[in-house]
């Protein structure tokens, strides 16, 4: 697609990734005509001037038709989601996001949109392949036979299939990325929807500034994950969007760490050592998850590469500034 003629709409523009994506696309010369989110503008993570910023519930089909009007491309990131604490305790809310995906695909078809990007998740992967901390990295084919994470994972996998069939039946060009734990500045770091990198930064900062040198960790700390810095995510979104790859691709780092190692890293950034306690009853998700980047390297000649230590330092510094400035959103 030619950047000169692309008119883009970002669904979920008030969220962490969506807010960054609006600014990134504009910096690349894309005409972002509209950003949409259900949250009041005062609660958007970032608001970009010169874009039509609309507060709409995209579970409603009429709102989706309004959103898609005049667009040649749609980036569908809107969803009711959060970290493991949220998605394990709000399965129905997570699954209701399928209404957004359904109605946005229908609106894209009806309004003549040329290309549709869908942000899926590593939560689509078969749970039997994630039982051990020393997990084998997940390949795209590992989503089947289907046994995704209950609630959120099923919604994502079903919506991937919708994208596939809208392309087959209606010619809407769909591109799908399976995000693996995206983090960075301007993300949620408090309130129950935050993910592990931000939550650990907040807990370490609370201990450092509060004088109580203790930290509570969910699970036993041996569970493993990979975490992708926002800049890698933004680059990957655009590369996948512009590609001729019609199948879902992993979009994540393959730098695997335990939760304990992530705490070690943040302690080192903060210059502090904390006494650890472990809440074995708290949500902790699967025992191990990592991204196999073989396919994205083969298709695009690129994969996320920003070191976790570098991204975490930037994230920690941003969260510290927000904490010292006042209460979280």
Do 70 and 131 reside in the same domain of the chain? yes
Say yes or no: 84 and 128 in one domain: yes
Query: How many domains does one find in the chain?
Result: 2
The two tokens of residue 248 are 């879902």
**Domain interval for residue 197:** 189-225+256-289+307-325
- Two tokens, residue 197: 């990198």
> Do 79 and 201 fall into the same domain?
no
The answer to whether residues 108 and 218 belong to one domain is no
C-alpha 158/C-alpha 160 separation (Å) is 5
Q: How many other C-beta atoms are found inside a 10 Å radius of the C-beta of residue 268?
A: 13
Say yes or no: 219 and 81 in one domain: no
pLDDT reported for residue 81:
79
Q: Of 65, 50, 55, 62, nearest to 13 (Cα)?
A: 55
Q: Tell me the pLDDT tens digit for each residue of 179-221.
A: 999 999 999 999 888 889 999 999 999 999 998 899 999 999 9
Whether 117 and 11 share a structural domain: yes
CATH of the domain at 311: 3.90.25.10
Q: Please tell me the predicted confidence (pLDDT) of residue 329.
A: 47
Query: Is the residue at 295 inside a domain?
Result: no
Say whether both 265 and 206 belong to one domain.
Answer: yes
Asked if the structure places residue 260 within a domain, the reply is: yes
DSSP secondary structure letter of residue 216: E
- pLDDT tens-place values along the chain, 329 residues long: 554 589 999 999 999 999 999 999 999 999 999 999 999 999 999 999 999 999 999 999 999 999 999 999 999 999 987 777 788 889 999 999 999 999 999 999 999 999 999 999 999 999 999 988 998 999 999 999 999 999 999 999 999 999 999 999 999 999 999 999 999 999 999 988 888 999 999 999 999 999 889 999 999 999 999 999 999 999 999 999 999 999 999 999 999 999 999 999 999 999 999 999 999 998 788 899 999 999 999 999 999 999 999 999 999 999 999 999 876 54
DSSP codes, 135-187: PPPBPGGGG-S----TTHHHHHHHHHHHHHHHHHHH--EEEEEEE--EE-TTS
Q: Please, are residues 1 and 242 in contact by the beta-carbon 8 Å criterion?
A: yes
User: Which CATH number characterizes residue 14's domain?
Assistant: 3.40.50.720
Q: Is 161 inside any structural domain?
A: yes
- pLDDT at position 4: 56
Is residue 193 domain-resident? yes
- Confirm whether 302 is domain-assigned: no
Residue 125 is among the residues annotated as catalytic for this protein: no
If asked whether residues 116 and 67 sit together in one domain, one would say yes
Core vs surface per residue 26-50: b (16+ CB within 10 A) or e: eeeebbbbbbbbbeeeeebbbebee
| Residue 173 belongs to a domain | yes
Same structural domain for residues 89 and 220?
Answer: no
Give, in order, the Cα–Cα distances in Å from 19 to each of 12, 49, 64, 96: 8, 12, 19, 22
pLDDT in tens, 220-258: 999 999 999 999 999 999 999 999 999 999 999 999 999
Asked if residue 157 belongs to a domain, the reply is yes
Residue 300 lies in a domain: no
Question: Helices in the chain by DSSP H: which ranges?
Answer: 16-27, 61-68, 84-89, 91-95, 97-110, 152-170, 196-210, 230-242, 259-270, 294-300, 308-325
| 244 plus 275 within the same structural domain | no
Residue 61 sits in the same domain as residue 197: no
Q: Based on the fold, state whether residues 75 and 172 are members of the same structural domain.
A: yes
pLDDT of residue 192: 83
The catalytic position among 75, 118, 152, 316 is 152
Does the model's pTM come out above 0.85?
Answer: yes
DSSP string, 37-70: ESS-GGG-S---TTSEEEE--TTSHHHHHHHHTT
Report CA torsion sign: 75, 79, 82, 85: negative
């Amino acid at each position: 697609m030619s950047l000169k003629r692309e008119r883009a709409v970002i669904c979920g523009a008030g969220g962490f990734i969506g807010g960054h994506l609006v600014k990134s696309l504009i910096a690349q010369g894309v005409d972002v005509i509209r950003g949409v989110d259900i949250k009041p503008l005062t609660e958007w993570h970032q608001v970009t001037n010169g874009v039509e910023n609309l507060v709409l519930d995209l579970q409603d089909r009429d709102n989706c038709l309004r959103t898609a009007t005049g667009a040649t491309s749609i980036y569908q990131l809107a969803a009711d989601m959060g970290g493991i604490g949220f998605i394990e305790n709000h399965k129905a809310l997570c699954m209701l996001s399928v209404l957004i995906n359904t109605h946005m695909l229908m609106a894209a078809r009806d309004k003549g949109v040329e290309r549709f990007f869908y942000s899926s998740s590593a939560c689509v992967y078969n749970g039997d392949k994630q039982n051990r901390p020393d997990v084998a990295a997940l390949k795209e084919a590992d989503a089947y036979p289907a046994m995704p994470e209950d609630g959120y994972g099923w919604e994502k996998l079903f919506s991937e299939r919708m994208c596939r069939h809208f392309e087959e039946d209606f010619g809407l060009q769909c591109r799908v990325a399976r995000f693996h734990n995206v983090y960075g500045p301007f993300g949620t770091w408090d309130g129950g929807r935050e993910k592990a990198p931000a939550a650990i930064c907040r807990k370490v900062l609370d201990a450092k500034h509060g004088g109580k040198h203790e930290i509570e960790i969910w699970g036993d700390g041996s569970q493993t994950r990979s975490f992708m810095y926002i800049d890698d995510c933004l680059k990957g979104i655009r590369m996948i969007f512009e590609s001729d790859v019609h199948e879902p691709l992993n979009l994540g780092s393959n730098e695997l760490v335990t939760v304990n190692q992530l705490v070690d890293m943040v302690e080192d950034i903060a210059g502090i050592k904390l006494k650890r306690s472990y809440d074995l009853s708290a949500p902790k998700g699967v025992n191990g998850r990592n991204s196999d980047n073989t396919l994205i390297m083969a298709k695009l000649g690129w994969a996320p590469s920003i070191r976790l230590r570098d991204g975490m330092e930037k994230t920690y510094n941003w969260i510290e500034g927000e904490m010292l400035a006042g209460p979280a959103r």
